[in-house]
Amino acid sequence: MAEQSASPSGDPVHASESEETRKKWDAAAANFDVMAGYGPEKRWEPFKRELFSAMNGGRILFLAIGTGLDIPFWPSGQTITGIDISPKMLEAAKARADAYDGELELVVADVHDLDFPDDHFDQIFTSCTFCSVPRPVDGLRSLLRVLKPGGELKMFEHTGSRFFPFSMMMNLMTPLSRRFGPEMNRRTVDNVRAAGFEIEKVDPVYLDVVKRIHARKPAAG
Ligand SMILES: C[S@@+](CC[C@H](N)C(=O)[O-])C[C@H]1O[C@@H](n2cnc3c(N)ncnc32)[C@H](O)[C@@H]1O
């Protein structure tokens, strides 16, 4: 498993924030499949499979691999770099990664500080990630940098809701949920736009909470 430097930018506040995030998800790794693997994954599988079927044979970045629950939903024969900030999550993903019928490299990396060259990937996929990334707009700008002009960003994400009482419940739950895992009230579609992507389609999966976001890096020139 390759590893990128935790904070190439050298900012100590961001380095300690990354360390906190890494510790939190390392701690969650042992029980993650029990929490996420049997209920939610079964429920979202058809929606994820359909999203991932857009993988088109180019150079693909997948953020964040977690324990690899998404790997069986990928089409075979792709060339994928799978990243996650948590080494323990990636260790737990190893068996699923080894079983993937394609090229898959696992890299420990923080999305805020990616070491990949500019315009490197043809497509980027995310799965239940931007509920967890501490600085979502910065993380998305980092994805924008490594994606080729005109390249696709395809996301399966849960976000906050615009509707009462869900909005209130999610705001109340977030201070607790963020201590152990994700935030429940993120405005991910707005964040994607704020980072500089063009939104092509937002495809609701469950209410206005679980959704697929289809976005693109503006073409050069
Ligand atoms: C809710 S889990 C989702 C895992 C997997 N995508 C799934 O759906 O089963 C969130 C994942 O995001 C990763 N993560 C959180 N912050 C990150 C960051 N800054 N850079 C890279 N990965 C991060 C965590 O380690 C964790 O594996």
Average pLDDT on 97-102 reads 98
DSSP β-ladder status, 79-84 and 59-63: parallel
Measured in residues, the chain has a length of 221
What are the Cα distances from residue 44, in Å, to 20, 66, 105, 156?
A: 29, 16, 25, 9
- Lowest-confidence range among 14-18, 69-73, 89-93, 144-148? 14-18
Residue 16 near residue 76 (C-beta atoms within 8 A): no
pLDDT digits (tens, 9 = 90+) for 21-42: 999 899 999 988 887 766 666 7
Q: How far is the CA of 22 from the centre of ligand 1 (A)?
A: 9
Average pLDDT on 151-178 reads 80
Q: What's the pLDDT score for residue 8?
A: 53
Q: How many CA atoms lie within 13 A of 146 on its CB side?
A: 22
pLDDT digits (tens, 9 = 90+) for 115-147: 999 999 999 999 999 988 889 999 999 999 999
pLDDT confidence bin for 206, thresholds 50/70/90: confident
Q: What's the pLDDT score for residue 221?
A: 60
Residue 80 near residue 74 (C-beta atoms within 8 A): yes
**What whole-number distance in Å separates Cα of residue 175 and Cα of residue 180?**
10
DSSP class of 6: S
**What whole-number distance in Å separates Cα of residue 157 and Cα of residue 210?**
6
Residue 128 near residue 155 (C-beta atoms within 8 A): no
What are the Cα distances from residue 69, in Å, to 87, 122, 125?
A: 16, 23, 14
Name the residue at shortest CA distance from atom 6 of ligand 1. Answer: 127
- Kind and range of the H or E run holding 148: strand 147-158
The domains found in the chain, sorted by start residue, are: 2-216 (3.40.50.150)
Q: How far is the CA of 182 from the centre of ligand 1 (A)?
A: 9
Q: How far is the CA of 221 from the centre of ligand 1 (A)?
A: 33
- Please state the atom number of ligand 1 nearest to the C-alpha of residue 156: 8
Q: What's the pLDDT score for residue 68?
A: 96
Name the residue at shortest CA distance from atom 5 of ligand 1. Answer: 66
